[in-house]
Copies of this chain bind each other. A is one copy, B any other.
Amino acid sequence: MNAAETLRLHISKTTNLSPEQFDYFYSQFTPLSFKKGQAIISEGDKVEHEYFVLNGCLKSFYINDEGKMFILQFAMPTWWASDYNALYSGNPATSNVDCITNVEILRISNTDREKICKEIHEVEYFFRWRVNRSYVATQKRLLLLMNSDAKHRYEELMKQYPELYNLVPKHLIAAYLGVSRETLSRLYHS
């Protein structure tokens, strides 16, 4: 599937755009390729774009003062990623986004998203529902982190995203779950 078709199918699950509306919507995006390990957003950057993943896998992460990494999100095909706090506020990035694999993405700027949301009501509807779903997913994850032990969190993650098991190195899954590499190892074999 080419980039336009991937995006068209993704949007069509939420709203209907006419072919002309979709073509105009798609024209706001820039296709880009990155190599495994490349950084897309680094802490301190001015953030002006968000990213729709076509192929591969991104991670967004935070590194604390002691150098420990925390994973906020993995982004697989048809997922969106950015440092949304920085993107919306104009403040410098506090988190990072980089490539776990080679990655193809579509990039759109905050300015162009706002412009097209204003021009096409259905696009505004699409983005509202995209963030509604992200908000609910983040609330669920918060509750899981407060309420569950590492074993349960690991099982939930693998149930929800079984493809992560093969795609993502184990130390990154540990950083997502907020456990040590050793704890995760025990979970694999229990």
Contact = CB atoms under 8 A, between A and B. Distances in A.
Interface string A159-187: 00000000000000000001000000000
Copies per complex of this chain: 2
A84 B136 contact: yes
Given A121-B124, A128-B127, A134-B135, A146 B70 contact: yes
Contacts of A33: none
Contacts of A118: 121, 125
Contact of A117 (B125, B140, B178): B125
Interface of A: 62, 64, 68, 70, 72, 84-85, 88-89, 95, 117-118, 121, 124-125, 127-128, 131-136, 138-143, 145-147, 178
